[in-house]
Amino acid sequence: MSGSSRADGRTATQLRPMSASQGVLARADGAVRFGFGDALAICSVNGPMEAKLKEEQLDRATIEVQYRPATGVPGVRARVMEAAIRDIVEASVLANHHPRTLVQVTVQHLNEAGSAMATTLNAVAMALLNAGLPLRSMPATTTCAITADGELLIDPTAEEEAVAASIHTMAFVQEQHQLVYIESTGHYTEEQLAACHELCRAGADKVYAFYRVALEKKLAEEGFVVEAAA
């Protein structure tokens, strides 16, 4: 895994340029459009708000997740992604601060161009923050693909994913680098997984730095003075 460049000119350890627009929807409490290059997803968060009687939980907020693909009706893959998103949201949100309420998380994929799960989860994390929900932690997610030659590529494009031997998506929380989510498909060895873990963790740090810059920029626009990072 030397510095061999990829079809789009990146090195093996380079993420695509990230983009984020915060507070983009008028009716949602929080909404963020997040992108890794051309891979784009938008997430809206509503709540805590009134829950239906049968959905109400006495000690915590109910979390409702909806994932919608860019093309076609939601199918099995959408259900799987919803389950993963719900797990991560439940791990991040301090749901016991708002008992008997509902938190609604809706993700709409806008353009599929590889690293779908990472794009989605980063949009969700930023939207939770944008909605002002009390959070325990904020997950940062990256995807890593292993090619047939054993080369590790971070943030693969759809073309790279199509020919990859295995694909690994990992989410980490904050600077402690704790792994909160992992999904792997394909054939790979233990050593390869460990190497992927290293690479994804380094990627997550970059995503974190991006979260920070994006938030600081937004706060500055709103007139808050942001102190330098400790």
Partner 1 sequence: MPREVEPSTIEREFVLAALGQGKRVDGRTPYDMRAIDIQLGPAYGLAEVALGKTRVVAKVAAQVVRPYPDRPNEGQFQLNLELSSMASPTIETGRLSEEEVLVTRVLEKAIRQSRAVDTESLCLLAGEKVWSVRVDIHVLDHYGNLIDCATMAAMAALLHFRRPDVTIIGEDVTIHTLEERNPVPLSLHHIPLCISFAFFEQGEQLVIDPSYLEERLQDGDMTVTVNTHRELCALSKAGGAPLPSEQVLRCIQLATAKGAEITERIQNAVRASLDALLPGGQKGSGGGGIGLDR
Binding site for partner 1 (CB under 8 A): 14-15, 17-22, 24-28, 31, 33-38, 40, 42, 44, 46-47, 49-52, 64, 66, 68, 70-73, 102, 104, 106, 108, 110-111, 113, 206, 210, 213-214, 217
**Nearer to partner 1 (CB atom), residue 127 or residue 166:** 127
Backbone phi, psi, residue 33, to 5°: -100, 125
**Nearer to partner 1 (CB atom), residue 98 or residue 192:** 98
Please state the closest distance from residue 134 (CB atom) to partner 1, in A. 19
Please state the closest distance from residue 191 (CB atom) to partner 1, in A. 26
Please state the closest distance from residue 197 (CB atom) to partner 1, in A. 19
Find, among 73, 75, 47, the residue nearest to 61 by Cα: 47
- DSSP string for 174-218: TTTTEEEEEEEEE---HHHHHHHHHHHHHHHHHHHHHHHHHHHHH
Please state the closest distance from residue 62 (CB atom) to partner 1, in A. 11
Q: Helix count (H) and strand count (E) of the chain? A: 4, 9
Give the chain's largest Cα–Cα span: 57
181/85 Cα distance (integer angstroms): 10
**Nearer to partner 1 (CB atom), residue 40 or residue 192:** 40
146/186 Cα distance (integer angstroms): 9
**Nearer to partner 1 (CB atom), residue 167 or residue 214:** 214
